[in-house]
C-alpha cells in the first residue's frame, strides 16, 4: 500500500504560480512539459478574492514562446474555470490528460494564465503523474 512518503516518488510537484495579486495584470505560470507524464492536475489556491478571476490552461508548442502559439485543449474540454469573489481561502482543481493535447502538432506544453480584470491573490501548483518512464527520481516537468 502506498504511503504519503511515496507521493514524491510517484508525482512531480511543480509550484507553477507563486501567490500573487493578479489584479489588473495577466499572470502566467511556469510551462509544464507533458512529454514525460500522462496527466496533470492543477491545484489553484485563492487567498483573497475581491473580484472573480478566470484561469485558463492552454497548450503550447514550447516553453519560452510567451504563449504566442497557445490554443484551447481538446474539443469541448473545459480548461477555463472561475474563482468567484466568495472563494476566499479555497482550493479548486483542473485535470488535463496528455491524450487531450495536440501532440502530433507539437503541442506538448501547458501554460496556466489568469485574466487581467480580477483583484485576487492566487497561487497554483501542478501535480504531474502517471510518468511514462518511471525512474528512481521523477523526470522534470518544467525542462
Prediction pTM value: 0.79
For residue range 15-37, list pLDDT tens digits in order: 887 777 766 677 788 888 888 88
In the chain the domains, ranked by start, together with CATH numbers, are 4-131 (2.60.120)
pLDDT of residue 30: 82
Average pLDDT rounded to a whole number, residues 119-134? 80
Q: Which of the four pLDDT bands, split at 50, 70 and 90, describes residue 131? A: confident
**Whole-Å CA distances, 101 to 55, 108, 117:** 18, 7, 28
Per-residue buried b or exposed e for 27-65, using 16+ beta carbons within 10 Å of the residue's own CB? bebbbbbbebbeebebebbbeebeebbebbbbbbeeeee
Amino acid at each position: 500500500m502506498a504511503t504519503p512518503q511515496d507521493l514524491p516518488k510517484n508525482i512531480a510537484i511543480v509550484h507553477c504560480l507563486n501567490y500573487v495579486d493578479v489584479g489588473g495584470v495577466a499572470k502566467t505560470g511556469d510551462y509544464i512539459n507533458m512529454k514525460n507524464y500522462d496527466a496533470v492536475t492543477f491545484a489553484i489556491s485563492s487567498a483573497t478574492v475581491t473580484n472573480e478571476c478566470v484561469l485558463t490552461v492552454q497548450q503550447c508548442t514550447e516553453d519560452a514562446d510567451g504563449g504566442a502559439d497557445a490554443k484551447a485543449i481538446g474539443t469541448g474540454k473545459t480548461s477555463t474555470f472561475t474563482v468567484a469573489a466568495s472563494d476566499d481561502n479555497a482550493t479548486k482543481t483542473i485535470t488535463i490528460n496528455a491524450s487531450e493535447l495536440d501532440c502530433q502538432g507539437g503541442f506538448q506544453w501547458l501554460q496556466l494564465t489568469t485574466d487581467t480584470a480580477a483583484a485576487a491573490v492566487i497561487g497554483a501548483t501542478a501535480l504531474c503523474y502517471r510518468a511514462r518512464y518511471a525512474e528512481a527520481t521523477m523526470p522534470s516537468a518544467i525542462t
